[in-house]
Amino acid sequence: MSEQALIANQILNGENLYTQAIDFVLARAQRHIWIFDQDLSRGGFSSLNRYELLKNFLSHHITSELCIILHDADYFQRQCPRLNHLLSIYPHKMRVHITNNSMKNFKACFIVVDGTHFVKRIHIDQARFKFGCDENVSDNIIQSTILQQQFLDLQAASPEAISHALLGL
């Protein structure tokens, strides 16, 4: 069986391709990265490569913003020490929210980068996804706008946040 190629704007299958697509769009980030996921256990979020991509994004762009919304934060807190470290270094640029119970039935994970690039996993339990980047920019903007609205809806229903900011007197 031959491996499937990473092709934009088509339904793709496979955890490795999913991780590659995430790397591809995150590497293009300049201003905003919005991530909605069940728990970040899929897609290589605990890897050194993912940490380096996000660290470079946060450190090289003065106005960069990373916002993550999760259904469950256990994996993030226990298995993603590098991302937790980024949250402690960049609390002014990075936020992690936890959805409330009313949003737990939302099962399509996605990432939106700068309003023009996206990766959308069709269902948490299946490695079927679509991503848009560079080509067909107008189509990508339409899909990204829909995902951004979903993200804002999820964010409005996710008042609980993880924080590593130190408070002093």
Mean pLDDT computed over 63-88: 95
% pLDDT > 70, the chain? 92
Of the two residues 28 and 103, the one the predictor is more confident about is 28
* 2 band by pLDDT with thresholds 50, 70 and 90: very low
State the number of CA atoms in the 13 A half-sphere of 21 facing the CB. Answer: 32
pLDDT greater than 70 at residue 141 = yes
The predicted structure's pLDDT at residue 1? 38
Q: What is the pLDDT of residue 68?
A: 97
Q: Quickly tell me which residue has 């919005």 as its tokens.
A: 34
* pLDDT above 60 (res 169): no
Q: Does the CA dihedral 58-63-64-66 come out positive or negative?
A: positive
End-to-end CA distance of the chain: 62
CA distance 100 to 156: 10
For 95, the 3-state DSSP assignment is: strand
Q: Say if residue 158's pLDDT is above 60.
A: yes
DSSP state letters, 126-155:
EEEEEEE-SSSHHHHHHHHHHHHHHHHHHH
Options 3.30.870.10, 3.60.90.10, 3.40.50.300, 1.10.3720.10; CATH for 12-160 is: 3.30.870.10
Distance, CA of 120 to CA of 35 (rounded, Å): 10
